[in-house]
Structure 1
């Protein structure tokens, strides 16, 4: 059986509140992609522990500026996924993504004071569609930050395909997501579907 070609586009990683440090699936993914000769980048957020929406948007747009239009993927986790929704609502002259993976965004109704400036996020179908050739959502069925579930919170309002991970929690180190083969597989192939 012939081996399928591997995807080679750059990947922009958007971490969530407090970042995705050692052992987190995003950090593991970056190591795997670089080992395969792929380019990865992250915005240079000034303060991961005390996120400021305006500052994070500026850092995101600076990270997007050198990327090729329709020639890069975005892999966002938690607050990084919400940040992407704010970005596509007002992208300026930033290049458009090829594919976007939004993992475990917190509930649009979250009441966490430290990230309150990000909520509620804009949930506009047309803006999300203009932001990339395709966007998919993934979340655990028991995410404590998303009690209503990914489909109700984001999938249905945005008309986006969703994948629910049984027992996935917040899809972070605490819920067992260090190395995550499914996300590495998604990054390595051209189709949009997560599984």
Structure 2
């Protein structure tokens, strides 16, 4: 049995049209177990509150021995890299558009996330744009090389969210259903 845990980023209220919202709907339509919580106080997130919410959501996803694929966007990537719940049920992790520590530390509402000591989760893959204003140095330099995580670079994709055209994202859905599928630009 498998399940999917989807964690959103800063100031995200899970809007229709965002790739995570569309992915959750598409997976549910296929009969998959999907846990897609609204993390507390999305505009002014607290590390401990987000950590607790992610742990609870992971327990829900992993119920009945399900193997979990975790999909994080933006600030949730830093949460997962630095404060993830320890759970053997996590099989794969997709980190989409992680913001750099420099960007995060420059915003008082989220600066605490920049203080988390990051480490490489097993089964991780980063997908990021080469034009992300939230990670100007690039995900390969900021996270991929230092943590030994493979990075898929999407040319010109911005922050890989709605305003950058990332609503339905067929290759992410394909990757969820088949770990060998390649993730490409929308």
From 35, 54, 74, the equivalent of 1:60 is 54
Q: What are the Cα deviations for residues 80-125 of structure 1, in whole angstroms up to 9, with x where unaligned?
A: 111111234xx35x34410000000100222122111111342334
Does the alignment pair 1:84 with 2:80?
A: yes
CA change 1:86–1:179 in 2 (3 A) is same
Whole-angstrom CA distance in 1 between matches of 2:135 and 2:162? 17
- Normalising by structure 1, report the TM-score: 0.85
Tell me the SS of whatever aligns to 1:109: helix
Structure 2 unaligned spans of 5+: none
From 42, 48, 57, the equivalent of 2:42 is 48
- The 5-angstrom pairing of residues 1-195 of structure 1 reads 9-19=2-12, 20-66=14-60, 67=62, 71-88=67-84, 91-92=85-86, 94-110=87-103, 111-125=106-120, 128-129=121-122, 134-191=123-180, 194=183
Aligned residue number for residue 5 of structure 1:
none
Whole-angstrom CA distance in 1 between matches of 2:116 and 2:149? 15
My pick for the range that moved more, 74-83 or 182-191, is: 182-191
Q: 1:77, 1:105 within 8 Å by CA — same for their partners in 2? A: yes
Whole-angstrom CA distance in 2 between matches of 1:76 and 1:123? 15
Q: 1:136, 1:161 within 8 Å by CA — same for their partners in 2? A: yes
Tell me the SS of whatever aligns to 2:94: strand
Query: What's the C-alpha RMSD, in Å, of the aligned pairs?
Result: 1.8
My pick for the range that moved more, 151-160 or 110-119, is: 110-119
Structure 1 unaligned spans of 5+: 1-7
Q: What are the Cα deviations for residues 36-81 of structure 1, in whole angstroms up to 9, with x where unaligned?
A: 1111002342211111101000111111123156711001000111
- Paired residues, number: 179
Cα drift, residue 190 of structure 1: 2.9
